[in-house]
Amino acid sequence: MDFKSAIRTIPDYPKKGIMFRDITTLLGNPRAFRAAVDALVQPFAGLKIDKVAGLEARGFILGGAVAHQLCVGFIPVRKKGKLPHTVIGEDYVLEYGTDRVEIHADAVEKGERVLLIDDLIATGGTAMAGIRLLERAGAKIVGCSFVIDLPELGGAQKLTAIGMNVSSLVAFEGH
């Protein structure tokens, strides 16, 4: 499957100079969506995985489908203030300020093996925060799988540098 051709590129969104990689076209194509879910799982075939964690928001769509494929539970890693029960959170730095991701305090049992999923890895800030949060909750991260890598921004390298097994389906140059 040629995943690049299934992903729409929108120039100058959300601001001038940014090439936005829109996976809604991939999600709307049944063959591409199915192939992407299979490909996100494939590098981790044979590993014991107890749960899949998806980063808000497109990571929910992909992560939910991957969890279904693996017959395991799903953990939504949400932005601050979105979960209704007791939460634990992790702050991370943005270009201009900070943000926070949260999970329910009871989302992970100590020692559970978790696969982290998102649509895109750029600078790695959100993924790193998700990893730290899940590990603090007791999870063992078995890997991180993304549809798109923007290698110039170095996020996948940061995850690899901390010992994460990182996989992506396509790489796009530029931002």
Is 58 marked active-site?
yes
Active site (annotated) includes residue 132: no
Catalytic hit among 8, 34, 78, 95: 95
Residue 88 has pLDDT above 80, yes or no: yes
Residue in 21, 58, 78, 90 annotated catalytic:
58
Q: What is the pLDDT of residues 52-69, one digit of tens each?
A: 999 999 999 999 999 999
Pick one of 2.30.30.60, 3.30.70.20, 3.30.1380.20, 3.40.50.2020 as the CATH number of 46-171. 3.40.50.2020
* Closest of 13, 46, 11, 9 to residue 26, by C-alpha: 9
Q: Distance (Å, rounded) from C-alpha 53 to C-alpha 168?
A: 16
Per-domain residue ranges for the chain?
Answer: 46-171
Residue type, 82: K
Pair 7, 169: CB distance under 8 Å: no
What confidence tens digit (pLDDT) does each residue in 160-169 have? 999 999 999 9
Closest CA to 125 of 79, 91, 163: 91
pLDDT tens figures, 107-164 = 999 999 999 999 999 999 999 999 999 999 999 999 999 999 999 999 999 999 999 9
pTM: 0.96
